[in-house]
Amino acid sequence: MNDLMKNKRISLIIPTIEEEAVFKIIEDSRKFLGKNIEIIIVDKSSDAYVKRLKKTNVEVIRQKDRGVENAIMTGLRAANGDILASIDADGTHETRGLLKAVEIVASGEADFVLGNRLNNIQKGAMSAYLRFGNSSLSMIFGMLYGKKVHDVLTGLFVMDRKAFEDIKNITPYRTGIGFFAGELAKRKYEIKEIDIKYFKREQGPSKLTKSKLFYGFGMAYLMLKKRFK
């Protein structure tokens, strides 16, 4: 941890539904970002799972609405940090990437940093079909917002508190992390990316969406619709 980070409080938001990998993510996040990091889990799981989460000394908020965007926004609104971060709970994103992204935000080089998975996909982690979809949506995002982004569907980002304050009252729409990236791009905040490793999901199918195809089309439509509002 560099000197700039020592003067910043970091809040990490993790949305989850019965993800076993989250316990290792909690442990690794404290290793990379310090034991005093504020970790908020926004959860839609069983009481037994929540009980296990609370044993790790994290704050747990039960999600009452739907969607990962709403879950993350709920956690961000409850957070106290100067630097705000989020990571998927399924263990596919390189947790160390949070440290790299936090360092960039703490230095003032960017207001919002995305973890780009597409340059370091581990064997079996992402199909060619999904990679094509991610790249296509990121290209559409770049054309609409004038920001070159390679992986707008990533599940890892870090954001400066001041940037969040500018969008905290907006109701999220169904574009994943693209919601945060799009709203900040419209407001001319500096957006950067870092490369992270992307690992194969080890525990069952993704719980975020049943149809990746319909989700992709819906995201493209919403990005276009919301760009000019």
Q: Which amino acid is at 196?
A: I
Strands 38-43 and 59-62: parallel
* Domains of the chain, earliest start first: 3-227 (3.90.550.10)
What contacts 210, CB < 8 A, 6 or more positions away? none
What is the three-class DSSP state of 178? helix
Determine if the pTM surpasses 0.85.
yes
Per-residue pLDDT tens digits of the chain, which is 229 residues long: 566 667 889 999 999 999 999 999 999 999 999 989 999 999 999 999 999 999 999 999 999 998 999 999 999 999 999 999 999 999 999 999 999 999 999 999 999 999 999 999 999 999 998 999 999 999 999 999 999 999 999 999 999 999 999 999 999 999 999 999 999 999 999 999 999 999 998 776 665 555 577 778 888 889 889 988 7
- In three-state secondary structure terms, 120 is coil
pLDDT at position 153, please? 93
Nearest CA to 105 out of 191, 171, 227 is that of 191
Distant-in-sequence, close-in-space partners of 153: CB < 8 Å, separation ≥ 6 = 133, 134, 137, 138, 176, 177, 178, 219
H helices present in the chain, as ranges? 3-6, 22-33, 47-54, 68-78, 96-107, 128-145, 161-165, 178-186, 212-227
How many CB atoms within 10 Å of residue 206?
13
The beta-carbon contacts of 61-65 under 8 Å, at least 24 apart in sequence, are 63/15
CA distance 214 to 69: 17
Torsion (CA) 181, 85, 89, 45 in degrees, nearest 10: -100
